[in-house]
A and B are shown apart, each in its own frame.
Chain A
Amino acid sequence: MAEILIKNGFVIDPSRKINGDVMDVAIKDDKIVEKVGSGAKVIDAKGKVVMAGAVDVHAHVAGPKVNAGRLMRPEDKLFKSPDAQEHYRMEMGFSIPSTFKTGYDYARMGYAFVMEAAMPPLHSPHVHEEIHDTPIIDEAALPVFANNWFVMEYLKNNEIDNAAAYVAWIIAATKGYGIKLVNPGGTAAWAWGLNCLGINDPVPFYDITPAEIITGLIKTNEYLGLPHSVHIHQNSLGDPGNYTVTLDSLKLAEGVKARNKFGRDSVMHSTHIQFHSYGGDSWANFESKAKEVMEYVNTQKNITVDLGCVTLDETTTMTADGPFEHHLNNLNHLKWANVDVELETAAGVVPYVYDKNIKVCGIQWAIGLELGLYAKDPMRTFITTDHPNAGPFIRYPRIIKWLMSQKAREATLDTFKYKDKVIDATNIHGMDRELTLYEVAQMTRTGPAKALGLSHMYGGLSAGLDANVGVFDLNVKNMPSDPEMIEKALLRASWFIKSGQIVVKDGEITGHGNKRTVWVNAKVKANPQVTRDINEKFLKNYTVGIGNYPVWDALAPNPLVIDIDAEA
Chain B
Amino acid sequence: MATITLKPFKTPELIIECNNITPDAFAGKTPAEIAELEIFEGKVREKLGDFFSVTGSSGKTAAETDILIDGDCSRVKYIGSKMTAGTITVNGNADMYVGGWMKGGKIHVKGNVDSFCGIAMEGGEIEVDGNAGNYVGCAYRGDWRGMRGGTIHIHGNAGNDIGTFMLGGTIIIDKNAFIHVSTHAEGGTVVIKGDVEGRVGGQMVKGDIYVFGNVQYMLPGFKEIDRVRKEIAGESATFRQYIGDLGERHPKSKGKEIYANLYVKASA
Contact = CB atoms under 8 A, between A and B. Distances in A.
B142 interface: yes
A78 B140 contact: yes
Contacts of B40: 83
Interface string A42-83: 000000000000000000000000000000111110100001
Given A75-B140, A83-B40, A335-B142, 16 more contacts: A72-B142, A73-B142, A74-B140, A74-B141, A74-B142, A75-B141, A75-B142, A75-B143, A76-B142, A78-B140, A78-B143, A83-B45, A84-B43, A333-B249, A334-B144, A335-B144
Nearest to A84: B43
A392 B149 CA distance: 30
Nearest to A90: B43
Q: How large is the interface on A (under 10, 10 to 19, 20 to 34, 35 or more residues)?
A: 10 to 19
B120 to A, nearest CB: 9
A76 B142 CA distance: 9
A75 to B, nearest CB: 4
Interface string A71-114: 01111101000011000000000000000000000000000000
Of B141, B142, B144, chain A has the most CB atoms within 10 Å of the CB of: B142
Contacts of A72: 142
A73 B40 CA distance: 24
Interface string A327-339: 0000001110000
Contacts of A73: 142
A333 B184 CA distance: 11
A76 B140 CA distance: 10
Contacts of A75: 140-143
Secondary structure at the A interface, as helix, strand, loop or mixed, is loop
A31 to B, nearest CB: 39
19 contacts: A72-B142, A73-B142, A74-B140, A74-B141, A74-B142, A75-B140, A75-B141, A75-B142, A75-B143, A76-B142, A78-B140, A78-B143, A83-B40, A83-B45, A84-B43, A333-B249, A334-B144, A335-B142, A335-B144
Nearest to B120: A78
B99 to A, nearest CB: 16
A333 to B, nearest CB: 7
Interface in B212-268: 249
Contacts of B144: 334-335
A334 B145 CA distance: 10
Nearest to B44: A84
Considering the complex of A and B, which 6 residue pairs feature the smallest CB-CB distances, nearest first?
A75-B143, A74-B142, A75-B142, A84-B43, A74-B141, A75-B140
B75 to A, nearest CB: 20
Contacts of A334: 144
Nearest to A330: B249
Nearest to B42: A84
A78 B141 CA distance: 9
Interface in A321-376: 333-335
Interface string B31-43: 0000000001001
A387 to B, nearest CB: 20
Contacts of A84: 43
A78 B139 CA distance: 12
Interface string B132-160: 00000000111110000000000000000
Nearest to A85: B43
